[in-house]
Amino acid sequence: MSGNDTDVAVPALAPAPVSRLRITEIFHSIQGEADAIGWRTVFVRLTGCPLRCVWCDTEYSFYGGDWREIDDILAEVATHGARHVCVTGGEPLAQKRSLLLLQRLCDAGYQVSLETSGALDVSAVDPRVRKVMDLKAPDSGESMRNLWSNLEHLLPHDQIKVVIASRGDYEWASAMLSEHALDERCMVLFSPVHGAVQPRELAEWIIADKLPVRFQLQLHKLLWNDVAGH
């Protein structure tokens, strides 16, 4: 170093951001809903949800959970040897890093689905992900939270799900189906609330009105009579 050179202090590098998510549970089961129904699937259930739907069956995921590194999550998913992964909640998109988790799962070669309430923006979700997006009917108590601009970000492989708790919900869903041409955007699923609408009753309404929707029952409830977590 010449006499004219001076020592320059090099600032310390800032630590890399921690890529963590709050996770309620990770489990291996059979997919009970949507177009991947019946496939062995690893479910990654994120903690937290800004909605409080009357018929929610995963209230245990609203609070608590454990912080997990995304690398750690992927490592656990891989131990189950399943091709399908479902990121669910709660509301996964309430945690911004869920977008990175979805991308990483797709990069790892999984068939990835996202279960989302329809109340939060889906525009930044990796296009390889199959979005299963709710539209909240009136009896959910959260229909005012529907973010209708999300419809413009749905791709043909995505799905819209309407959970129906009454004839009024069915009439509302039928009207939205027509008003927004939902079936021209992607698959539309009508699902009865367990114990509120008889499955046969909803099926007969769909048949009578010749609706271009797919009737859906939650397979896991038929198999294990549970609310979630199998």
Q: What is the pLDDT of residues 70-105, one digit of tens each?
A: 999 999 999 999 999 999 999 999 999 999 999 999
Strand partners, 93: none
CATH number at residue 213: 3.20.20.70
Q: Can you give the pTM of this predicted structure?
A: 0.88
Residue 32 lies in a domain: yes
| Amino acid (1-letter code) at residue 160 | I
In a domain, 185, yes or no: yes
The span from the CA of 204 to the CA of 35, in Å, is 21
Question: Looking at the 3D structure of the chain, how many domains does it have?
Answer: 1
Does residue 10 sit within a domain? no
CA distance 69 to 72: 5
Within a domain: 13: no
104-136 pLDDT, tens digit per residue, is 999 999 999 999 999 999 999 999 999 999 999
Range of the domain at 113: 20-224
Whole-angstrom distance, CA of residue 85 vs CA of residue 77: 8
CA 138 centroid distance within chain: 20
In percent, the amount of the chain with pLDDT more than 70 equals 90
> Is 1 inside any structural domain?
no
Strand partners, 229: none
Q: Is residue 8 part of a domain?
A: no
Cα dist. 68→22, 45, 78, 175 in Å? 6, 12, 15, 42
- Domain membership of residue 161 (yes or no) is yes
Does any domain span residue 146? yes
Does 230 score more than 80 pLDDT? Answer: no
90: cis peptide before it, omega within 30°?
yes
Could you tell me which residues are beta bridge partners of residue 112? 85
Spatial contact of 159 and 191, defined as CB atoms under 8 Å apart: no
Exposed/middle/buried for residue 111 (C-beta within 10 Å: 0-12, 13-18, 19+): middle
